[in-house]
Structure 1
Amino acid sequence: MAETEHGTARQAGLLQPVVAGMLAAVVGFASSFAVVLQGFAAVGATPAQAASGLLALCVVQGPLAALLSWRWRMPIITAWSTPGAALLVATGMPEGGFPVAVGAFLLAALLIVLAGLWRPFGRAVAAIPPSLANAMLAGVLLDICLAPMRAVGTMPLLALPVVLAWALAWRFARLYAVPLAVAVAAAVILLATPLPGEALSDILPRPEWVAPRFTAGAAIGIALPLFLVTMASQNVPGLAVLNANGYRPAPGPIFTATGLASALIAPFGAHSLNLAAITAALCAGRDAHPDPARRWVAAVAGGLAYVALGLGAGFAVAFIAASPPLLIQAVAGLALLGALSGALHSALAREAERIPAILTFVTAASGLGFLGIGAAFWGLLAGGALLLLERGRR
């Protein structure tokens, strides 16, 4: 009898982190896949290339998380860069189309590898004031976060149910607010705008090779901001979540591994992989398992679940391609409100750096394009120059 109870306890102990990991994968995918697909489309990807990029992200980030977690016995969750995808939406199609964007993805991945391997470079990146990095991110996010209100003004009967569902879920079950908004949006689209039969006729995702092209404008306007946004808004918070739960992984090997994985999938249309932050909290906290030494199982389970979710990439792309674009943008904007709030809070936290941060924010949000380089870079440059002038005055 005692042996049976002990066996049941062991089974329940394994079930808890497995369920937590699968929940983290479903929440992470449902909360931001629309942003990722919007980003790919904005820089010129065809629906097939967008499906290939989403598939590559899922089938590589899942095993990568499982491998890292098993290797160090820590819940190391990897994810795609949602703020990076929002950056692509704000940047728009580069001259030369999607192959040029893919070249920028590859350069950003190599910068992440460099940050992991070469400590002086990693320290130089860490020396960028967080206020400016977060202000740049907030400027990138602002336009897409306005989409829900634009959708309500343009198509209130379609958009209002989505926004109200998100608001009610945010009040009572915040973790499920964006997935519920996605579900309501899908129901509204199916009821109000029936999809043509051919839209879902071929939904099996296939990897598509995109030969990268390299240009100076994309290197400065896409690759560098993508690298900085990924490091500042994903990798650093991801490490903070692990540290807060008692885990102390060496950041260098993690950056190197995620950078190499990002370089591997870039030619298939995918942008950056990095440490997860929000979904990492689901796997690193007590809810995953009372024993911190067994929470790594949650990360392994979540990684395997991402592989299964990746097989639905073709359906996700086909559904979004046949849906009202503004409504999809509204869902993406709701998904990024939390990121915008956190970025603004961090950008304005230090009084001495507020004006340079605000300059960075408004420049990045302006959509300024100059010399083929997007507004995110110019915002960081403008704010950095003003901060140096202020420090020189002092």
Structure 2
Amino acid sequence: MDQHRVSELSAAAAPGQAITTGLLASFVGFGSSFAVVVQGLVGVGADPAQSASGLLVLSVGMGLLGILLSLRYRMPISVAWSTPGAALLASTGAPEGGFAAAVGAFLVVGALIVLAGLWKPLGRLVASIPSSIANAMLAGVLFHLCVAPFLAIAEIPALALPVVLLWAVVARFWRLYAVPAAVLLAVALMFWQGAGPSPPVGQLWPQLTLVPPVFSWSAMVSIALPLFLVTMASQNIPGFAVLQANGFQPPSRPLIVTTGVGTILAAPFGGHAINLAAITAALCAGPDAHPDPGRRYIAAVATGVGYILFGMIAVAATAWISASPPLLIEAVAGLALLGAFGSALGNALTSPGERDAALVTLIATASGMSFAGIGSAFWGLLAGGIMLALRRLKP
């Protein structure tokens, strides 16, 4: 498209187009995965107040960073929480030392992200992990939550079956709206049955809860290392790829360092990881946001504003999750992660020569095994790496 035509389209397209797209992206990003985030924080020992604090600080943090980076570089740089990382937490279990040890691991994750941005050898080392192994570990992490919708249908059919059916119908026509629609229906069913939360209005005001960190070796290995790898491989690298596919050339070092610093600041209040977005980045960076690429950063700014606003309902969202049957929340989270699971599984099994190693990684991770206080994600990664090394060993 020539420059003259772009100018004509830009003149015709009001800023409202970019703003609307950005707000839609924030609704999709928050509505489709906040249950996963809360489930992950609860999984590593957070109480309702700490979970609400983590959801709040992540929402506000990724909103502010998205606004600042987009305005600084005039690019649609969308920032998000690590949804695969939250799924990892949900399947890991509370570490020795409780949620305080998990917070210590979150701080280490932030430091590693900053180091990966500043020190190129670490970034290259993360990028050198075979894609099949990294994706197999992610698929194993997501497996437990992805089977939850079907387990929920068997145990609580009156609640789960309508949610799953609505998700399937909406996904057929408007895939982006499928999970938010399922969340809204689940909320409605809970209130219809009289099981919804009813905290006093004064308690719905967002509050931050400071958690003094505890550093333990088992939490570093079972939480910090897998969370760092999942966040880099499943969020930051695809986030750059989406921007580049739409013609943008974002500077890698300042973006990675900024998200790492954001993670460090969010960790003491329960936030597990802040990183570049992929799905919402595709919404804001594409031509639907604005015909002129130079104006698409407005959509990312609007997304950041939307995330901050959604953060204000963190207490209410966490209260609803706390009052809901755990299996129903896992079912909603599983629906949100089915696409990520399918993508990870497909990428893990693409290479025939690495398939055995990928399968070992996936099965070991999905098993939920814990040995020496270290969770299954680490052991799956280690087992797959050994299998791959043996495969490549020359006779």
Q: TM-score range by the shorter chain?
A: over 0.9
SS at the partner of 1:202? helix
Q: Please report the TM-score for the alignment, with normalisation by the length of structure 1.
A: 0.96
Per the alignment, do residues 196 and 105 of structure 1 end up closer, same or farther by CA in structure 2, a change over 3 Å counting?
Answer: closer
Output the amino acid matched with 1:290: P
Q: 1:213-362 maps to which residues of 2 (within 5 A)?
A: 213-362=214-363
Q: CA deviation at 1:63?
A: 1.1
Q: Provide the TM-score with structure 2 as the length reference.
A: 0.96
Q: Shift of residue 193 of structure 1?
A: 3.7
Give the equivalent residue in structure 2 for 1:3: none
- 2:87–2:145 CA contact under 8 A, matched in 1: yes
Kept after mapping to 2: 8 A contact 1:199/1:318: no
Offset of residue 12 of structure 1:
4.3
Give the unaligned 5+ runs of structure 1: 1-5
For residues 120 and 281 of structure 1, the distance between their equivalents in structure 2, rounded to whole angstroms, comes to 29
The one-letter code sitting in structure 1 at the alignment partner of 2:184 is A
Deviation at 1:198, TM superposition (A): 4.0
> What secondary structure, in the 3-state scheme, does the structure 1 residue paired with 2:288 have?
coil
Q: 1:393 is paired with a residue of what secondary structure?
A: coil
Equivalent residue, structure 2, for 1:377: 378
Distance of aligned partners of 1:200 and 1:388 in 2 relative to their CA distance in 1, 3 Å threshold: farther
**2:41 is the alignment partner of 1:25:** no
Mapped partners of 2:82, 2:242: distance in 1? 16
Question: 1:57 maps to which residue?
Answer: 58
1:99-138 → structure 2 map (5 Å cutoff)? 99-138=100-139
Measure, in 2, the Cα distance between the counterparts of 1:10 and 1:291: 9
Alignment partners' CA distance in 2, 1:192 and 1:151: 17
Residues 9 and 108 from structure 1, CA distance in 2 versus in 1: closer, same or farther, beyond 3 angstroms?
closer
Distance (whole Å) between structure 2 residues aligned to residue 267 and residue 11 of structure 1: 46
Q: Distance in 1 between matches of 2:374 and 2:390?
A: 24
CA–CA distance in structure 2, aligned partners of residues 198 and 104 of structure 1: 32
For residues 140 and 51 of structure 2, the distance between their equivalents in structure 1, rounded to whole angstroms, comes to: 25
Distance 1:207 1:196, change over 3 A: closer
* Structure 1 counterpart SS, 2:203: coil
SS in 2 for 1:79: strand
For 2:44 and 2:249, the matched residues in 1 are separated by 37
Contact 2:195 2:323 in 1 (8 A): no
Any conservation in 2 of the 1:113–1:260 contact (CA below 8 Å)?
yes
Q: Is the 8 A contact 1:30 1:179 kept in 2?
A: yes
**8 Å CA contact retained: 2:10, 2:292:** no
Deviation of 1:9 (Å): 7.5
**How many residues align structurally?**
389
After superposition, the C-alpha distances for 1:124-161 in whole angstroms (9 at most, x for unaligned) are 11111011011000000000111000000001111110
Contact 2:35 2:329 in 1 (8 A): yes
Q: Which runs of 5+ in 2 are unaligned?
A: 1-6
Superposition map of 1:108-187 within 5 A: 108-187=109-188
Alignment RMSD (CA, Å): 1.6
Deviation at 1:11, TM superposition (A): 8.2
Does the C-alpha gap of structure 1 residues 9 and 228 become closer, same or farther in structure 2, counting only changes over 3 Å?
closer
Q: Which AA in structure 2 matches 1:370?
A: F
Match of residue 75 from structure 2: 74
Q: Which amino acid aligns with 1:111?
A: L
Corresponding residue of 2:94: 93
Shift of 1:250: 1.9
CA gap of 1:198–1:294, structure 2 versus 1, over 3 A, is: closer
Q: Which 4+ runs in 1 deviate beyond 3 A?
A: 8-12, 196-201
Q: Partners of 2:196 and 2:96 in 1: how far apart?
A: 32
The verdict on how the C-alpha distance between 1:196 and 1:336 changes in structure 2, with shifts beyond 3 A counting, is closer
Q: Hey, what's the Cα distance between the residues in 2 that align with 1:76 and 1:68?
A: 6
Aligned match of 2:369: 368
Give the residue type in structure 1 aligned to 2:321: I
CA contact (8 A) 2:197 2:319 kept: no
Identity of aligned residues (%): 58
The change in CA–CA distance for 1:198 and 1:293 in structure 2 (over 3 A counts) is closer
CA distance, structure 2, for counterparts of residue 203 and residue 11 of structure 1: 42
What secondary structure, in the 3-state scheme, does the structure 2 residue paired with 1:95 have? coil
Distance, in Å, in 2 between the alignment partners of 1:22 and 1:250 is 25
What is the CA distance between 1:13 and its match in structure 2?
A: 2.3
Per-residue Cα deviation, 1:275-314 (whole angstroms, up to 9, x for no partner): 1011111100000000111101100111011111100000
After superposition, the Cα gap between the structure-2 partners of 1:196 and 1:296, relative to the gap in structure 1 and judged at 3 Å, is closer
SS in 2 for 1:274: strand
Contact persistence 1:200–1:315 (CA under 8 A): no
